[in-house]
Homo-oligomer: A and B are copies of this chain.
Amino acid sequence: MVSQLSIIVSKELYIKDPISSELGEKILSQGLILMHEIGLEDFNFKKLSQKINSTESTIYRYFESKNQFLFYLFNYYWSWMDYKLALAVANIEDPKTRLKRAIKLVTKTVEDDLTTNYINENLLQQVIMVESSKTFLSKKVDEENKLGYFKLYKNFITNLSTILLEINPRYPYYSSLVSTIIESVFHQRFFSQHLPKLTNNISQDEQLEDFFFQLCLQTITNYNENGKNESF
């Protein structure tokens, strides 16, 4: 019943590890489904407890708040993506191909990974798309950062930055560019579904990939160190 995958979410992110019991796995899997269905704002442990025929207080023995539950999903996602990134670029030498594969990974629609029965990765991606920026856009961000809630996200950004720097080690804004791409992938996908005027109909993975790969490659390869002082 317990995962073979090395997706590890640290102890700060739960009271009792949900993947340590069947009930916990049910909380996770059904919690994800419910959050996908009704959104973070309307999601609560009472509704979830009804869905799984348990009680609110039981769920509170696993997660101290719905916020912590969201952070659990958030860290799970980035841990899983980090593992996927390592796989995607393993044994590939050419820097541009490595970048291309990395961008493909972050822009592609994920399918459910059937080795984990307690997480539907496709739903997880959709939930993270909509809810993830709410993890940091709050007054509690500094506190939560100290608790390590953003560790796996920062880790992923760092690992992806390394790939950019292989192409141009002198590009100075590597982390900013990567975090821009990552956040924007979610926004562009969301916009194409709900506010299409803000995009150019790049709902398909291929177009998303083309847009971000070119943006990234052109930006890092053509960076002009004297650009700041250039006058037009």
Contacts and interface: CB of A to CB of B under 8 A. Distances in A.
A211 interface: yes
A199 to B, nearest CB: 5
A183 B179 contact: no
Question: A interface, how many residues as a size bin?
Answer: 35 or more
A17 interface: no
Contact of A175 (B136, B138, B199, B215): B199
B198 A173 contact: no
Report which residue of A42, A150, A179, A202 has the largest number of chain B beta carbons within 10 angstroms of its beta carbon: A179
Contacts of A90: none
Given A131-B137, A138-B41, A227-B210, A188 B198 contact: no
Nearest to A184: B180
B94 A173 contact: no
Contacts of A38: 139
Report which residue of A145, A190, A200, A213 has the largest number of chain B beta carbons within 10 angstroms of its beta carbon: A200
Nearest to A182: B198
B215 A228 contact: no
22 contacts: A42-B139, A96-B232, A133-B133, A133-B137, A141-B195, A142-B194, A145-B194, A145-B195, A150-B195, A154-B195, A154-B198, A172-B200, A173-B202, A175-B198, A179-B187, A179-B191, A179-B199, A180-B215, A206-B228, A210-B227, A214-B219, A218-B219
Interface of A: 38-39, 41-42, 94, 96-97, 100, 130-131, 133-134, 136-139, 141-142, 145, 150, 153-154, 157-158, 172-177, 179-180, 183-184, 187-188, 190-191, 194-195, 197-200, 202, 206, 210-211, 213-215, 218-219, 222-224, 227-228, 232
